[in-house]
Structure 1
Amino acid sequence: MVNKPLARARLINQGVAAPLQIAADTGSPAHAQEIAAYFGASQGQDFPGAIAALAYRLGTATAVDAVRQAFEQGLLVRGYPMRGTVFVTAAEDLAWITELCSGGPARSAQTNRPRLGLDDAHIDQAAQVLHDIAVDDGTTRTELFACFEQDGIPMGPGCGYHLLKALLHNGTVAYGPIVGESARMENRVMIAKQWLPHGSDLEGKFNGDKHAATVELLRRYLDSHGPATLRDAAWWSKLPLGKLRQAFAEIAEEYVSWNEVSGAPGSAAAVPGEELWVREDALPVIAEYDKAANKPRLLAAFDEIILGYQDRMYIVPEAHHADLVPGNNGVFRQAVIAGGEVIGFWKRQGPAAKRKLVIEEFKPFSATREKRVQARFNAYPFATA
């Protein structure tokens, strides 16, 4: 069931409906890096959409350029740190989050290896090929897959991506600088030890202490996604709920129960004892921007507002939830939000110079709302998508 006060609070804490407090110069590549670090990890499957999602959180006219420069400068990267899917992280966070969270997805992927005609020796062979061709400036996936095949590695359907994901899961590679444009945009595949900051693995950041790393990742999740439950954090990270409860015990004094402080209808925990936690010092900011959070906005397809929680129906009306992912094929549509809920889906049509906004609205928009949504589209960071 849609919970509008909760949705508005999350829109504010996630930097969609309010500016995030960042120390870096506004609109700079370092600003983009700090926002990525604030989240810990954010959805990156649709790369142009991931750039846009960071850009509208920067909130400047040149935000897209800043995000692209952050990738070029090695401040931002993409990888498979958790859940077996692509995320954007600050470069200094990819290695330790991957070590902490990728074990389960890596083991799951390993069970598919024989079906593809691959074995563990092929992963080692692929790593050697990568080091031979990517030692200086990295490589593209096309170049890498061609070299795999030339080296005698089986390259049937799905093999190349399986090999690359395995190298991402085990920390051998990272996705770095951007090549290509529009739908062909991708990252160069970089050798992680050369591209990522030295000492950014679990040993370097936390002296190998997985509990300390879990505390840090949980803090970042609750700060950026709160109000949220520990079960939300477990679903998001795929870390055991018991370990997250142990971690929360160390930082609990920084948070308050949204269920108790909001006083909003529907704010009670869905399950007794599963409180929605929010930073206590975020409450004044939520109060300040609550009204502004009602304004119409356009979201990228895989924005954390939609994909950062186990239950999406806090913001998506149940009658339209299935429409968010047509055919349940894993491809999420771009949402229009206003008044603390998703009110429709949007897309762009036409060539780059003549793009037009197309809306699938749940209910007819008023003339005022239509004008405001169009204004959002005019200012949307297209990120060449």
Structure 2
Amino acid sequence: MDADDVVRLRLRRQQLRAPHADTPEAALKNLLAVQSQEFPYARWSLAQRTAGASAADVEQAVADGRILRTHILRPTWHFVHRDDLRWLSALSAPRLHQGNQGMYRQTGIDAAVASRSARVLARAVAGGAHKTREELAAELQRSGFTGKGLELAYLIMHAEISGVLTSGTPVRSKGGALRQTYALFDERVPAAPTGPADRPVALAELVRRYFQSRGPATAKDCADWSGLTVTDVRLGLALALEIDPGALETAALDGTEVHFKPDSQHEPAAGGTARIDLIQCYDEYVMGYSRTRHFLGGTAPALPERDTPMHVVLRDGRMIGSWRHVLTGGSCELDIRTGPEPGDAATPGTDRAVDEAVEAYGKFLEMPVVRK
């Protein structure tokens, strides 16, 4: 297995190449969890792995609760399918709480405070009364909490991690931006078991789905992505192979073991002209790896605006630049910056491929898009 194999197989397993998913929630089921702190761009991560879903399609799936957005795995936002959230929360909650202990102490959140705030928050959203962060803050303040700053952030996060709150139906601000609301976890997540019944089997399920959707990758990649330890990942890997010996294959890559979906190394390489993908900076093609992220390759010129996420331009799976969008007056302006071609020779079809990527983004947004 070489670097070209790694790139080609990751593109296919992550469904950035055919066969694509039928729906955004099907793409999410394949990936298990998708980092989503930049909500507008995270919609794109799911949609571009489908046969043509729009931003509205993803928003509707979130509104309906088929896709939920919450703090899980690592202490950051992720999209998770509702059928996976209960077991995945049970698996990751202990390490998330452990990792947050320093901030809990700093903000005065002990077991008693967390329990009392959880009751306040649960009552506030019960019966489908989804509320924004500001509305939850007001409820906490009426019950004697400060309800501001870090205390508010960590009380809400504690409730998410503990299975009290999850995402509700988003609402639009006066400026048109979508705002997160919170709902009662038990009203949005199926109560009937839809996943692994105990921790060892949950470890096996997470590890199997990670490597099948992101392989070739290492145990360290999986551990950093999931927030678990390498020891836990190896336990999950051993059990996954015990349950289904054909679930994963192993190969050597730069002296390190990588795991991936069986037979994937035999798939033919794609030919033809260049393919351009515009992916968000937190896309799983980037964030799904740590130890082997360098296979992304390339360097991307920084965009001039400060505090603006630098999203990634891929040519045939390797980074060649950065992009961002600006929405003005019902249209979208794409600022795309690319570096020099390898060997200073343009790859045939690159300009046309960029135009096709811009067109695809316009269809996703369902508005006119122009390249700056």
TM > 0.5 between the two?
A: yes
| Pairing 1:187–2:167 present | no
Q: Paired residue for 1:83?
A: 74
Q: Paired residue for 1:377?
A: 358
CA distance in 2, matches of 1:212, 1:226: 20
Q: Paired residue for 1:66?
A: 57
Q: CA deviation at 1:175?
A: 1.0
CA distance in 1, matches of 2:279, 2:3: 18
Q: Paired residue for 2:18?
A: 18
| Pairing 1:316–2:293 present | no
Displacement over 6 Å in runs of 4+: 364-367
Checking the alignment, whether the CA contact within 8 Å between 2:16 and 2:49 is kept in structure 1 is yes
1:303-353 C-alpha deviation (Å, 9 max, x unpaired): 100110014221132x559x59x99x8x75211100331000011235153
Match of 1:176 among 161, 168, 175: 168
CA distance in 1, matches of 2:33, 2:170: 18
Structure 2: gaps (5+ residues): none
Checking the alignment, whether the CA contact within 8 Å between 2:309 and 2:324 is kept in structure 1 is no
User: In 2 relative to 1, CA 70–125 (structure 1 residues): closer, same or farther, beyond 3 Å?
Assistant: same
Q: CA deviation at 1:257?
A: 3.0
CA distance in 2, matches of 1:218, 1:292: 34
Q: Paired residue for 2:324?
A: 347
Match of 2:232 among 227, 243, 256: 243
1:250-285 C-alpha deviation (Å, 9 max, x unpaired): 4253322344xxxxxxxx23xx4x31211114345x
| Pairing 1:100–2:91 present | yes
CA distance in 1, matches of 2:366, 2:114: 34
Q: Give the count of matched residue pairs.
A: 353
1:27-83 C-alpha deviation (Å, 9 max, x unpaired): xxxx222221111111111111111110111131x4333222222222110112211
CA distance in 2, matches of 1:292, 1:233: 32
CA distance in 2, matches of 1:254, 1:294: 32
Q: CA deviation at 1:245?
A: 1.7
User: In 2 relative to 1, CA 37–293 (structure 1 residues): closer, same or farther, beyond 3 Å?
Assistant: farther
Match of 2:257 among 260, 267, 275: 275
Amino acid at match of 1:14: Q
Checking the alignment, whether the CA contact within 8 Å between 2:73 and 2:96 is kept in structure 1 is yes
Q: Paired residue for 2:28?
A: 36
Q: CA deviation at 1:96?
A: 1.0
Once the two structures are overlaid, the 10-residue window that deviates more, 86-95 or 171-180, is: 171-180
Q: Is the partner of 1:154 in helix, strand or coil?
A: coil
CA distance in 2, matches of 1:332, 1:298: 13
Q: Is the partner of 1:87 in helix, strand or coil?
A: strand
Match of 2:336 among 345, 351, 359: 359
Q: Paired residue for 2:284?
A: 304
User: TM-score under structure 2 normalisation?
Assistant: 0.85
Point out the structure with the larger strand share: 2
Q: CA deviation at 1:180?
A: 1.7
Once the two structures are overlaid, the 10-residue window that deviates more, 213-222 or 139-148, is: 139-148
Amino acid at match of 1:136: G
| Pairing 1:48–2:15 present | no
Amino acid at match of 1:129: V
Checking the alignment, whether the CA contact within 8 Å between 2:196 and 2:205 is kept in structure 1 is no
CA distance in 2, matches of 1:77, 1:356: 29
RMSD (CA atoms): 2.8
